A and B are shown apart, each in its own frame.
Chain A
Amino acid sequence: MIDNINNRRSRKKAVVFETMSFLILSIAIIGVIIMLRVYLVGGAGRSFGLVVERHVEEGVYAGANSVLYATEERSGKTMLELIGIAAYVGNDTVDFGPVVGKINVQKELEWRFDKIYGKGKWYLHVPQPDIQPEIQIVFVVDTSTSLCDDVEEMAKNLPFLIEDLRQTRKVTATIYLLLGGANCCKLGTHEDLGPIACSRFPEKEYLHCVGLTASVCPGFGSGGQRDEDWGNGIACAAKGGPKEGWEDFSIKVGIPLSDELPQGSECLGGNTCCADSPSSYAAQHIALQNGINASLKNNLIVFPMRANPCGTVCSLYAGGQTIERYTDLQCNCGNLLTQYMNEIADATGGKMFNLKNPTDVVNAVKDVITSVTPKRKPELVAGTQPPVRVDIRTVTTPVPVSLAGVYTTAYIYQWS
């Protein structure tokens, strides 16, 4: 009886053990299959993903290079150079002058990156360094007697003004004196104050004075009255540039200082004032037009300054003759002069200044500097802002701003 019970228990145990063994074996095999799936196939999949990602990353780097080293076809500059120039001028648009024209760097980058990375799949930003572009000023100064007081004031204050401006930016000035050079004297006492000549302006690294002779400006000086011909004078200055030459992407400013029309206000050679219409001063208007054309061609912004034309002047002539006279012609012909000066200012993007006193020259030049200083964009931005929660690949490239001798950085982001 007891043996029977024991036998039954043993068999029961054996069945339980067999079932348990089978279950353990099943679990082990399922475990092995899961492990194979996770480690073998999953590992291969991960490796595949890594290799594909490597290709994508290489493509992103290659894309950045291919765009940055591609040239813009009108200027022949690489996109990297254009970004550097845009950083220098502080604007997305760079003006390469009348032959090449204006180039929008942002748009040039956009069509290239759109083609390489796909539209809406990239973003670029380049912080612009704090650079003040160089300002180059050329003065064209009337050397007739009526300018004696203005030139004296200019000679006294201009060097200090330029020096002061150079504390914060690079400014240079070249004064072109028109042919002539009246010998000035003091009203009343007739004390000899010397001629209007470059000897009045001390030569400095940033301030030069040049007589506008035929050797400086070929063709200028033959025929007509030249001591007041600021129209052709500004044309010469625009073409020849300042003494150091025009710098690339500098701000070019022309300042004619006169109280008469280009080539004088005398009508038909007489000492009278003609009608207030350009046709009555045909030669003068041609001289003005020459100035406008040359200024436009050389990106010169003209800020004409009309010296106060009404007053008594004193000049010494050869043989000791002294003449004091009231400048009635200049005073009476003011309307057309204002019209001419506004014409060249409007055509070149400048502004005319009507000086009441000789001392106004300094403040007028300060105003000019303020008005030509461009408002800089803090950064060049192109493409689409990266979306959130996507894998973003980044390429950073140093961008030389060679005109300023500094570097900035282009940050390029790409996502799939």
Chain B
Amino acid sequence: MKGQLSYIIKPLSLVMTIVLLLILYNSIQSFGNRERQAQQGLDLVADATNILLVLANSEDCLAYRSTVTEGLYANIVDITKLNYFAAKYANYEPECARSLDFGWRVTVIEFKRSSGATVEGSKWSFGASQFSRDAAFRNSLDFSIPIAVRYSDKLTRTGTLQVHLVDGELEKISGMLDWYCEMFKTNRLSKGSFQIMTSYPLSYNAAQGQLCSMSKENSCRKMSCAMDFEKIKSAGQYNLKLSYVDGVMVVNS
């Protein structure tokens, strides 16, 4: 009887060991996924903060520079620049704070006092007007930072700068293409390639200079370079090959 016990325990141990190893494998996979998700969320939050700070504090973006002291004031934005950005960048992100990983749109709201109550005053908005949709959309985040909108020496109003940041396939692909564009323009690269994953067909609208993801509704993003883009007709993984010919970025899949 005791000898028979060994014959039961051996296979049982083997099965249990296999089960435990499966649990371990599954856990490693699951933790890996969670870590990747956390990392993506982390990148999104870090980028949101960086974009807001750059917009509010960089002279190339909205920051006010005093003509008297020649100094910049932290988080004080210039009304002239704000009006200019709202007019010029109504549909795409300004170069001064463009992210190569995410798409964003910001809204500036000022506050004022009216009849004893705090009310919203003027609003300005600029940045990308379309983002990845449906299956191409991964994550989004809304963050804000207080600013002051400076009209003149005698008038500066408190307000907020709010950013809507989107993580999606179209944003990643266009970000990579823009990065290569910059490398080509500055002669730091002559050709390159990278892999993409797309859930929808992709095409380039040369007239508008926009790369479009064709889900139920088209989502388009303005590109930094003019492109000769070979249309991607279906979802899937592609290896894009890039070169730069006569000021045009040639993209083949």
A residues touching B (Cβ–Cβ < 8 Å)?
A: 8, 11-12, 14-15, 18-19, 21-22, 25-26, 29, 32-33, 36-37, 40-41, 44-45, 47-48, 51-52, 54-55, 58-59, 61-63, 65-67, 69-71, 73, 76, 78, 111-112, 114-116
Contacts and interface: CB of A to CB of B under 8 A. Distances in A.
5 contacts: A41-B31, A66-B76, A66-B148, A70-B148, A70-B156
A69 B10 CA distance: 77
Nearest to B3: A11
A25 B76 contact: no
A-B pairs, top 5 by smallest CB distance, nearest first, are A76-B154, A44-B38, A63-B146, A66-B146, A66-B148
B175 to A, nearest CB: 20
Given A18-B6, A55-B48, A29 B21 contact: yes
B158 A66 contact: yes
B158 A70 contact: yes
Nearest to B14: A22
Given A67-B158, A76-B154, A62 B38 contact: no
Nearest to B26: A33
Contacts of B124: none
Contact of A62 (B5, B9, B16, B75): B75
Interface string B133-174: 000000000011111101001111111100000000000000
Nearest to A59: B145
Contacts of A12: 2
Contacts of B145: 55, 58-59, 62
B133 to A, nearest CB: 26
A44 B34 contact: yes
Interface stretch (B39-47, B79-87, B237-245): B39-47
Nearest to B158: A70
B53 to A, nearest CB: 6
A48 B2 contact: no
A65 B74 contact: yes
B45 A55 contact: yes
B69 interface: no
B49 A51 contact: yes
Interface in B218-232: none
Interface string B51-91: 01100100000000000000001111000000000000000
Interface string B3-38: 101100110010011001101100110011011001
Contacts of B39: 44
B61 to A, nearest CB: 14
Contacts of B115: none
A52 B111 CA distance: 25
Nearest to A8: B2
Contacts of B146: 59, 62-63, 65-67, 116
B122 interface: no
A63 B75 CA distance: 8
Given A11-B2, A116-B146, A116-B158, A58 B76 contact: no
Nearest to B113: A111
A61 B35 contact: no
B118 interface: yes
Given A26-B16, A37-B31, A116-B146, A14 B6 contact: yes
A112 B27 contact: no
Contact of A66 (B24, B32, B75, B153): B75
B6 A15 contact: yes
Given A69-B148, A70-B157, A40 B24 contact: no
Contacts of B160: 116
B73 A65 contact: yes
Given A33-B24, A36-B28, A71-B156, A58 B74 contact: no
A62 B10 CA distance: 67
Contacts of A112: 111, 158
Contacts of A66: 75-76, 146-148, 158-159
A26 to B, nearest CB: 6
B45 A41 contact: no
A47 B21 CA distance: 29
A336 B161 CA distance: 65
A37 to B, nearest CB: 7
A55 B13 CA distance: 51
Given A62-B74, A73-B155, A111-B113, A22 B13 contact: yes
Contacts of B75: 61-62, 65-66
Contact of B35 (A14, A40, A54, A78): A40
A114 B2 CA distance: 79
A19 B27 contact: no
A117 to B, nearest CB: 8
A36 B155 contact: no
Contacts of B13: 18-19, 21-22
Contacts of B155: 71, 73, 76
A75 to B, nearest CB: 9
B21 A41 contact: no
Nearest to B119: A115
B24 A29 contact: yes
Contacts of A73: 112-113, 155
A231 to B, nearest CB: 37
Given A36-B27, A41-B31, A44-B34, A65 B76 contact: yes
A58 B158 contact: no
B21 A62 contact: no
